[in-house]
């Protein structure tokens, strides 16, 4: 029995879809599982901030898909999950970490993930670390692209390139890894097939979706002010600006072979992801 956390987010949803297709035995832990009931997916009510919800969710579970939200408490969530997983007899944890988690001196979110990885490795439970790079759907979820109309994207990314990964590829890898012991003890870097700057990615998205997406390269200062105005907590503003700097300075311009190694096919391109977004938005 597999337990999925984060199943309403982009990676968790993709993992769930793959597990359903594979007829795997799984259940979902979500703070509001009502949406999942319609899909006929077994679910338990679970909240990272409710310690009492951990053990009941983990009852009868062998394998845990451990995805935590970006939060100041992210490491604490993982520590609590590992302790509960040990008590419940979980044998394998598949952790969604981040590419470059072990980089020095690192960035806020990378350091959180690195500490979380270290705790999982030390737990005595089997593990696989998935380390994806920037998700393609960040353009919709975080950067301001509207699939239905022209949009402007204001980011301090300069002309730095990233290897944007299709969230469905990360989900497909996660599902495969959850269903086998073959990747126990593996750290798997996951990227897309090509390096694209923000402007290049927007050009691809625009050509597929039939809209004009303009990139406005703003200063860090302007980006900070804009994020602060929307009420994003100060630590997360710092963390997001570090991610922008990572791209701007060229540190995200690395391709990895994890998707090919696990799935036996190349990762999907930005163009393929955008085409799915257009024709089958629920799968992108
Ligand atoms: N985005 C990227 O480019 C990227 C790249 C590499 C790694 N990552 C890592 O991937 C992870 C997910 O990031 P994301 O921003 O992409 O997440 P996301 O898709 O928004 O998913 C977050 C999930 O956590 C759930 N959640 C949030 N708070 C919860 C709570 N208190 N109790 C139970 N469930 C809760 C959300 O459920 P609800 O529906 O209830 O909100 C959602 O299912 C993070 O660890 C991040 O560092 C992200």
Which sequence spans correspond to the domains of the chain?
2-136+165-191+254-268
Atom of ligand 1 nearest to the CA of 243: 3
CATH class of 2-136+165-191+254-268: alpha beta
From ligand 1's centre to the CA of 211, what distance in Å? 28
pLDDT number for residue 200: 98
37: confidence class by pLDDT, cuts 50, 70, 90: confident
From ligand 1's centre to the CA of 68, what distance in Å? 6
Q: Average of pLDDT values for 184-209? A: 98
End-to-end, the C-alpha distance of the chain in Å comes to 26
pLDDT number for residue 71: 96
Q: Which of 4, 7, 9, 98 to mutate to test the pocket of ligand 1 (most atoms within 8 A of CB)?
A: 9
- Residues 121-155 as b/e (b if ≥16 CB within 10 A, e otherwise) read eebebbbbbbbbbbbbbbbbeebebebeeebebeb
β-strand 213-217 against 161-162: which pairing, if any? unpaired
Sign of the four-CA dihedral 137, 142, 147, 151: negative
Q: Average of pLDDT values for 45-74? A: 97
Q: What is the DSSP letter of 53?
A: G
β-strand 2-5 against 63-66: which pairing, if any? parallel
Atom of ligand 1 nearest to the CA of 32: 40
* C-alpha–C-alpha distance, residues 68 and 45, integer Å: 15
pLDDT number for residue 284: 85
Residue 35 has pLDDT above 80, yes or no: no
Q: What is the pTM of this model?
A: 0.97
Q: Are 44 and 106 in contact (CB under 8 A)?
A: no
36: confidence class by pLDDT, cuts 50, 70, 90: confident
């Amino acid at each position: 029995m597999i337990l999925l956390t984060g199943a309403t987010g982009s990676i968790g949803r993709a993992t769930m879809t793959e597990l359903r297709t594979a007829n795997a035995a799984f259940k979902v832990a979500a703070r509001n599982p009502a949406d999942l009931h319609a899909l006929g997916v077994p679910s338990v009510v679970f909240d990272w901030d409710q310690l009492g919800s951990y053990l009941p969710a983990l009852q009868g579970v062998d394998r845990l898909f451990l995805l935590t939200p970006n939060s100041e408490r992210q490491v604490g969530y993982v520590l609590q999950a590992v302790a509960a997983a040990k008590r419940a007899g979980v044998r394998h944890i598949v952790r969604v970490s981040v590419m470059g988690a072990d980089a020095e001196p690192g960035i806020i979110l990378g350091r959180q993930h690195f500490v979380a990885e270290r705790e999982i490795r030390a737990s005595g439970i089997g593990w696989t670390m998935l380390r994806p790079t920037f998700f393609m759907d960040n353009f919709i979820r975080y950067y301001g692209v509207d699939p239905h109309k022209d949009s402007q994207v204001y980011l301090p990314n300069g002309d730095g390139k990233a290897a944007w990964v299709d969230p469905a590829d990360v989900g497909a890898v996660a599902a495969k890894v959850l269903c086998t012991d073959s990747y126990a003890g593996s750290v798997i870097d996951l990227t897309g097939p090509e390096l694209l700057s923000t402007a290049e990615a927007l050009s691809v998205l625009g050509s597929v979706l039939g809209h004009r997406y303009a990139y406005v390269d703003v200063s860090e200062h302007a980006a900070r002010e804009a994020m602060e105005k929307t009420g994003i907590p100060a630590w997360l503003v710092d963390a997001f600006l570090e991610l922008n700097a990572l791209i701007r300075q060229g540190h995200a311009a690395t391709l990895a072979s994890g998707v090919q190694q696990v799935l036996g096919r190349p990762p999907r391109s930005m163009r393929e992801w955008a085409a799915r977004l257009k024709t089958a938005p629920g799968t992108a």
